[in-house]
Structure formats: structure tokens, C-alpha cells
Structure 1
Amino acid sequence: MWSILSLGGRVRTVIAALVVVGLLGGGAFAAGVIGAPSVAGVENTFGPVNETSTVIETDLTVSNPNPIGASLGGLTVEYDVLMNDVELASGTKEGVSVEKGNSTLNFTSTADNGQIPPWWVSHIRNGEQTTVTVDTAVTSGTLGRTIDPPNVTRQVETDLLSQFNSTETREVDANRALVSDPVLYINETSAQWGEVTDERTAMDLTFVMYNPKSYPIGVSELGYNITMNDVAMGEGSTESEYVIPPKSTETIEATVYINNENIDEWWVTHLERNQVTDLRIDFDARLQLSDTTVNIPLDSLTYTETIETDIFGTKPTDGDTSESSTEDGSSDNETETESSSSPTPTETEVPLDGTETQSDETTTGDETTTDDGGLLG
């Protein structure tokens, strides 16, 4: 009898112990005794960058709702940093202990710069917009539960081409002996993104040119050179030939290409300059002036644009670039592009559209009643 009663007491004791253990583990979570940890905030900054990699520093704040600090059997924290679904960096930290309330955990991860060209392709295809996403998860070994909070996102926009759209008239001078300048006027320019592949990014450009001469002018080649922070991004020349009739306008279309293989090299300079890029496109042309062919730089068409980003919203605010970033009124959840430069045309008093011959006379200052082929002795 005593042995049976004793055994029954021991069984009750074991059951009670199991209940306590259960309450300390997953059962405690269900009973509300132990609260599940959560992510209260995340902040990323760029660290050192070199030719192949970019360091990303992450401060992740974990909230422990329990009245005391505990390891909870060890927390495992995971995170991924993505730009338009292109994974830039990821990290994992195991066996994390947290105090009660909020605890900030520091992570350092290294991003492969080889991921920058795929991101660039997605950025241009998406209308120069990028969604920066930080995806985090916290797993408790004791609770056997993973907390996956909502992703932290930030929108980044750039505007590389809009300033190329211009209706300001610019002169084209040959700067050659015995040739009267200007030889052409550029009355309008426009640009838009063309086909984007893994290898290259196309820019479709349009020029409306006016010929003030009394003879047709041939444009047999239009060359270009693109740099971003002095990094060579593309060069070449168009293959189409155009003839601009005398005293008339002609629309010339050209496609120029950015070499995507050099995007990761540009990325390094962009971060080294506090996320500021100077885009520059230089043009030159081969013109047929009557019986004379000349190769001339189109200095009045030189295009410059300054692009500024704040990808994580945490870049340093000292210096001149911070002032423009502050003045644009961007919020903590949004980054805007600074378009601080524009084409650098040579101004003329009136635009030429092919119907005003008076402007031709007043601008060139060299009037003759015979066709001299552009040569004034």
C-alpha cells in the first residue's frame, strides 16, 4: 500500500516538473509567461570599399519583452540586404543573449561588388528606381519559434537623363581657317533609356539640327565618350548618315551605350565620394561642308549631371553634399536625386527653325550672294 501511494506521489511530482519545464519553454510562450523576441529596428551604413567588395555595417535592435535578460536557449538572428531583389549582403549571428528591453546587435558583412551590375540593370529597367529591403528573422531555440517581422524598405530614385531634354539653341563651330562659324545650330536635344541587357545599357538620343548654310551639310558620324566619376563607361560612334538641307532642320537620332561591366568600378568611386557621381558625355561629329570634311568636337553638346544618393538613409551629413541633401527635404524613408547640372550650351539670341534667314545673317556675320562652300577668302 505504501509503495503504491509512494509511486503515485512520484508520478505527480514528475508530471509537475514536466509542466514547469513546458512553461519555461514553448508552453510558457503559449501561456504568456515568456514573450517572443522581436526586431525593433535596423540601421545600415557603408564601410570600407575596394575593387571587389563593400563592407556593410548593420545595427539591429532586438526587443526582449521579458522582465529579465535571458539567452532563451540562444537566439539566432539572420538578415539579408537586397536592392530590387538583388541580394547585396547577408549575415547570421547565433547564440545571442539579450537584456530586457532593447539590445542593439552589431553585424559586419561583406558584399560582393559583382552584384552591382545586376542591380544597375534592375534599377534602369525599373525607371531609375530601387527598393532597398532589409529582411530580418529572429529564432529562439527554447521557444522553437522564428519571428519574421515586416521588412524594412527604403525607396531610392535617380534621374540621369532628364536634364538632357532641352530646347535651348546652341551653336556648332568648326573652328577651322577659312570656314565661317557657326556651321550648325542645335535647337533641341532629348534622351531616354533604350534596351538594357546584362552587358550594356542603351541611351537613345535625339538632336534637332539647323543648317544655316546655302548648301547641304552631311553628318556622317557622331562620336561619344561617357564617364562617371572619370571612370570610362562607354565610347563609340553612330553608323547612320544624315544630310541636312540648306536653311533647314533635320532630326538626328543616335544610340550610345554604357558598358555594364564597368558599373562595379564606378560603384567604388560613388561610395568613396559619399554617394555622389558626376556623369559626363562628350560628343564629336564628322561633317561634310561642301567639298570639305572636318572632324569637330561638339563642345556645346557636352552633357554633365551630378547624381547624389543616400541608399540607406544614414550617410554622413557633413560637407557641401549634405547641404543639398538637407535642402531637398527628403524624409527618413525616401532618397531623392540631386540634378544640379545641365547641358552647357552657348546661348544665342533667337532659335533657328529653318524659316528665319535673318538670324542666319546676324549670327554668322558673313553674307555672300554666291555659294562659297563655307570658304571665305
Structure 2
Amino acid sequence: MIFAGGAGYMAMNFEKPSFGIVDMGDWENISDDSIKVVSEAWIHNPNSLGLSVGFIDVGYEAEINDISLAEGKVDEVSIESGNNTKTLETELRQGRIPDWWVSHLENGENSTVSVPVEINTPVTSFSVEAFSKEISTNISSRIENSLESIEGSYTGPGIETTRSGLSVEIRPEIEVRDFKASWGDISEQESEVLMDMKVHNPNSYPIPTPSFGGRADLNNVTVANWTANSEPLTELAEEGMIAPGETEELRFRVGLKNQRMDDWLETHVRNREYTEAEIDAQLIFNVEGEEFKAPAGGMECIIQIQTDILVDDKQHSVENKGCEPKNEAYPETENEESTGTDSGNRTEQDLVDEGLLG
């Protein structure tokens, strides 16, 4: 009876403790199979008496965009009257990283980190939002700002062909204009990047629409390796061909493999939330059965990504390194002189100048 009376008195006079996160903490014990989050929490007990072992349990989660990425529980917490600090340790659910990635892109590259906490005592139970933080990235614009370096004029290799029964050498030229990048369809398996550009044909003959090949690595984790066919955004005079003097707007769909994102995140947090994305890309034309790549050796891009999910003291200065062609041009070819009626390896323009071609 004395115990019951004491409990009843305490229930009538009990004030709820308050709870919060001093610091979301840091990434710890990072391995291929496990990533831990260690955080520091505060608990304020407004009651004049301490709450002894067995009196209070604390359950908590770490959520990003309402996706639970970690959860933990501290049973039988003992807290003194006044302010207390406790260390919370949780293990990241790496299998949920692709789900978060999809939600992050669907929200316009924005995420909300939150830590809901539930406190249970024999007297009462209540929930609090102990921590909330907004994080944003601008990956699509970084891709666009870097890969727009592919804009420019390119001259292909010398290609032997025939014109009006005469053997000629042509060197096709193309111009790339107005490169744009944006997110396309986002699914559980794949995040689509739409890469749009205009391709101008300054030649006197039609050229086929190109494919677009490349590879994307995040901290040496390959998330895309593609060859994408073009989709015309303007009506072509001839299907699959860009007419002489015409400019066509083309779209290429590049898919990033979402299931590789948990492998990437391990490297990202190991580098204190820093990533160097390496992208190799080039347009691939097939002219008269010969391959013409623009740029000839491909375009190599470095994109730096820094986040602050847990890391506050950013140690890297993020800048747009842009892209550089690995090989700026195909080697020049020397025209061979010929005798008789055979035109030899003269260029198409040579034959026009000599009146052999109109």
C-alpha cells in the first residue's frame, strides 16, 4: 500500500523529461557490411528525483525523407535530476540506401533528416522530434555544367568512299550545341539522366544520328556504363539521318544503377562525405561504315560532390573541374597524288574544284 501510494503521488506530480540531440555525431566503424552512427543526446529531467535504472526506456530512429535508415533502443536508462547526456549508437540499414536515393531525386534533390524519439516510463509515454535538418544536392546541374564542355566543332578521320564512281576521301565535321542535363524517369532499379544536345551537320552530305557512350564512377564505384541511342526531339527529314546544313535536337537516356548506391555511400562517408565523380563520354557516329567519335579520345569530366548529412567540418573545397578531351582531334591525313583518270585519294572538295563533281 505504501508503494502504491508513492507511485500514485509520483504519477500526479511527474513532469515529462525533455529530449534532444546535441550532435547527430559521426560515421563510425565503416566497413563493407556495416556503417554505424554514433550520436550524442541530452535528456533533461525536471523532476527533483532521479529516474533510476529500469524506470525509463528510449527508442529512436534516424529517418531521411521518412525512410528509416537506422534505429536503436536504450533500455533501463538511469538519469539524474537536471541535465544528462547519453551516447546513442545505431547501425545504418545499407539496404535502404537505394530507397532514400530515389526519394531524394523525386524531391528535387532535397532530403529531410529527422530523429523521432519515443520515451516510455511506467507513468507515461510520449514522442518527440529530437532533430531535424534539410540537405540538398545539385548533381544534375553539376553534370550539365561539366558536360556542356562537349559543345564545339569536331572533324572526323579521313574516310574513303565513292562519289559518282570516283574514289574520294571525306573528313566529316559536326558541331555540338546547347547541351542540357536533367533527371528523367526514376524507378527502384534505375535513375535516368536525360542528356539533350543539338547536333549540326555542316557537310554537303547527310550523316547518321550518333549514339552516346560513356561511363560514370563515383569514388571508383561504377554506377553507369552505357551506349545510348539518340531520340530526335525535332522531326528528321530522313529517319536516322541529319541532312546537310541542318541542326537536329537529340536526346540520350543514361541510366544510373540504384543498387550500386549503397556501395558508393560507403566510400562517400569514409571520405567524410566527399565524392569525386568521373565521367567519360563521347558521341559515336558511323559514317560510310567507319566510326567517328567526338571527341576522338572521349571527354573526361571530374565532378566533386560534398554533403553534410553528419559531417559539419567540410574538409574539401568543392569546385567545378569541368571536362577535358583526352585527344583533341584525329590526325591529319596527307592527300596522295594520282595520275590518269583515277582520282586517287583526293578529297571531295578537290574533285569539286576540278569540275569532276558538281
Calculate the TM-score normalised by the size of structure 1: 0.73
Asked if 1 retains the 8 angstrom alpha-carbon contact of 2:218 and 2:276, the reply is yes
2:260 alignment partner, SS class: helix
Kindly tell me the number of residue pairs found equivalent between the two proteins: 313
Q: How far 1:52 moved relative to its partner?
A: 2.4
Deviation at 1:218, TM superposition (A): 1.4
Contact 1:62 / 1:103 at 8 angstroms: preserved in 2?
yes
Contact 2:159/2:171, CA 8 A, preserved across alignment: no
Paired residue secondary structure (2:280): strand
Q: Note if contact 2:119-2:126 (Cα within 8 Å) is conserved in structure 1.
A: yes
Deviation at residue 297 of structure 1 after TM alignment? 5.3
Q: Is the 8 A contact 2:62 2:113 kept in 1?
A: yes
Structure 2 equivalent of residue 41 of structure 1: 21
Instruction: Rate the CA distance shift 1:97–1:129 in 2: closer, same or farther, 3 A.
Output: same
Is contact 2:172–2:203 with CA below 8 Å preserved after alignment?
A: no
Greater Cα offset, 264-273 or 214-223: 214-223
What code does the residue aligned with 1:28 have?
N
Residue 135 of structure 2 corresponds to which residue in structure 1? 156
Mapped to 2, the partners of 1:120 and 1:339 lie a distance apart of: 23
Q: Supply the distance in 1 between the matched residues of 2:3 and 2:286 (Cα, whole angstroms).
A: 97
Instruction: Report what 2:201 is aligned to.
Output: 211
C-alpha RMSD of matched pairs (Å): 3.0
Distance in 2 (CA, whole Å) between partners of 1:117 and 1:345 is 32
Residue 320 of structure 2 is aligned to residue 340 of structure 1: yes
Equivalent of 1:57, from 38, 42, 66? 38
Gaps of 5+ in 2: 161-168, 231-238, 327-346, 354-358
For 1:353, the equivalent position in structure 2 comes to none
CA distance in 2, matches of 1:230, 1:61: 39
Give, in whole Å, the separation in 2 of the partners of 1:281 and 1:344: 11
2:211 matches 1:199: no
**What's 2:153 paired with?**
171
Cα displacement string for residues 26-80 of structure 1 (whole angstroms, at most 9, x for unaligned residues): 1222xxxxx3211043422211222222111021110111335332852111110
> Is 1:294 aligned to residue 276 of structure 2?
no
Q: Secondary structure at the match of 2:229?
A: coil
Quote the residue 1:265 is aligned against. Answer: 263
Q: How does 1:7-156 map to 2 (within 5 A)?
A: 19-23=5-9, 25-29=10-14, 35-44=15-24, 45-71=26-52, 74-141=55-122, 144-156=123-135
Superposed CA offset, 1:300-337 (max 9, x none): 7544321110113x4444x4x1xx4xxxxxxxxxxxxx
Is the contact made by 1:170 and 1:300 (CA closer than 8 Å) also made in structure 2? no
SS at match of 1:127: coil
Residue in structure 2 matched with residue 361 of structure 1 by the alignment: none
Distance 2:245 2:350 in 1: 15
Equivalent pair of 2:21/2:130 in contact (CA under 8 Å): no
Which structure features the higher share of strand residues?
A: 2
Give a deviation string over 1:333-359, Cα, whole Å, max 9, x none.
xxxxx563434479xxxxxxxxxxxxx
CA 1:183–1:64: 2 relative to 1, 3 Å: same
What is the SS of the residue equivalent to 1:274? coil
**Deviation readout 1:141-182 (Å, 9 max, x if unpaired):** 3xx212322342111111111144467742334356888878
Contact 1:37/1:147 (<8 A) preserved: no
For the residue of structure 2 that corresponds to 1:66, the secondary structure is coil
* TM-score scaled by length of structure 2: 0.77
Letter in 1 for 2:38: E
In structure 2, the CA distance between the partners of 1:102 and 1:340, relative to structure 1 (3 Å rule), is farther
The structure in which a higher percent of residues are helix is 1
